[in-house]
């Protein structure tokens, strides 16, 4: 099985008429994803290579039966786009856009959580998710992912999401679903959300986790793994050499004092029974050892 996304998921692209949204929307359709509609309030009635454009997510959902949307609108419009999608009943809202103001992200995260509990928000500032061989929503290159399981991947880092997929493909290890949760301070979906879903998925036998400096999400995940997870994990934490107090890449990747360091996260995960690699390749090697023992 897969989590959050499969071959039956019908997806709307908010921003399909823009150059980036168009590129990835068509690429995802070519991969096999059911990209059934796009939206633009001033362009309803046109189409993008056969994909109809509607004025709103509600109109698109009513016409197509879509249950998911991918947001490719500029950062100032993301808050409105997310709330529009949630109000239209979308079960999954994937926000690729980076540079979303932190207060906007915190606001729509809390509104969605409070008022639309059936809507799963992924991102912002994330690569999306891919269930290899089934569907791909976002900017992950489908050819680097091997289908068939038995490993699930969850990652904060976009680039390392791709490397994790490729490391496993090089070892002929398939993936059920790979979820890039994004590096903003308030991610819509957390490590724990994904770990809980992978734990419940019968076809996911092991999980590879990619974290990075900043915040406490990895330590919280370690607590969850220790108390709730029965499946084996390998992990890598980026930022071992990052100096304290420096923001490194993502808005959420900042170390304050002694908190949020890569070393502290690695130790917390190791104490929870996770096999922690010193680099992504080593994390892949450790996962290959886990899979070989099945």
**Mind listing the pLDDT tens digit for each residue in 246-256?**
555 554 444 44
Residue (of 79, 81, 92) closest to 5 by Cα position: 92
Residue 251 is predicted with a pLDDT of 47
Which residue intervals of 65-145 are DSSP H helices?
78-87, 102-115
pLDDT at 245 over 90: no
Q: How far apart are CA 183 and CA 238, in angstroms?
A: 12
* Identified catalytic residue from 40, 103, 143, 250: 250
Answer yes or no: 250 catalytic: yes
pLDDT exceeds cutoff 90 at 139: yes
Grade residue 240 by pLDDT with cuts at 50, 70 and 90: confident
Residue scoring higher pLDDT (183 or 91): 91
Query: What pLDDT does residue 231 have?
Result: 98
Mean pLDDT of the chain: 94
Q: What are the tens digits of pLDDT across the range 100-130?
A: 999 999 999 999 999 999 999 999 999 999 9
Q: DSSP letter at 53?
A: E
* Mean of pLDDT values over 221-230: 98
Count other Cβ atoms within 10 Å, centred on residue 196.
15
| Mean pLDDT of the 130-159 span | 96
Report residue 12 as tokens: 């709307």
pTM assigned to the model:
0.94
CA 291/CA 294 separation, integer angstroms: 5
User: Is residue 145 scored above 90 in pLDDT?
Assistant: yes
Write down all domains in the chain, each with its CATH number in brackets. Answer: 10-122 (3.40.50.720), 141-292 (3.40.50.261)
Q: Residue 1's pLDDT is what?
A: 79
Mean of the pLDDT values across residues 229-247? 82
Mean pLDDT, to the nearest integer, of 270-290? 97
What is the predicted pLDDT for the residue at 243? 67
User: Cα–Cα distance between 275 and 147 in angstroms, integer?
Assistant: 23
Give pLDDT, residue 214.
87
What percent of the chain shows pLDDT beyond 90? 88
């Amino acid at each position: 099985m897969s989590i959050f996304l499969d071959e039956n998921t019908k997806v709307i692209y908010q921003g399909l008429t823009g150059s980036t949204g168009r590129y990835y929307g068509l690429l995802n359709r070519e991969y096999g994803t059911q990209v059934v509609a796009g939206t633009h309030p001033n362009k309803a009635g046109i189409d993008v290579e056969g994909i109809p454009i509607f004025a709103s997510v509600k109109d698109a959902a009513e016409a197509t039966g879509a249950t998911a949307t991918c947001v490719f609108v500029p950062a100032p419009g993301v808050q409105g786009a997310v709330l529009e999608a949630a109000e239209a009943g979308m079960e999954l809202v994937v926000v690729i856009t980076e540079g979303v103001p932190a207060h906007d992200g915190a606001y729509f995260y809390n509104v969605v959580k409070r008022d639309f509990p059936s809507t799963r928000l992924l991102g912002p500032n994330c690569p999306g998710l891919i269930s290899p061989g089934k569907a791909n929503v976002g900017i992950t290159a489908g050819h680097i992912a091997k289908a068939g399981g038995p490993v699930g991947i969850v990652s904060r880092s976009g680039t390392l999401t791709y490397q994790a997929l490729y490391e496993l493909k090089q070892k002929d290890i398939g993936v059920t679903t790979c979820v890039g949760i994004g590096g903003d301070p308030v991610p819509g979906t957390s490590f724990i959300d994904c770990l809980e879903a992978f734990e419940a998925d019968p076809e996911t036998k092991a999980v590879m986790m990619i974290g990075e400096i900043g915040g406490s999400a990895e330590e919280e995940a370690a607590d969850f793994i220790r108390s709730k997870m029965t499946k084996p994990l390998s992990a890598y934490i980026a930022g071992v050499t990052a100096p304290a107090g420096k923001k490194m890449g993502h808005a959420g990747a900042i170390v304050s004092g002694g908190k949020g360091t890569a070393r502290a996260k690695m130790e917390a995960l190791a104490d929870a029974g996770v096999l922690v690699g010193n680099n992504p390749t080593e994390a892949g090697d450790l996962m290959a050892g886990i899979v070989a023992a099945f």
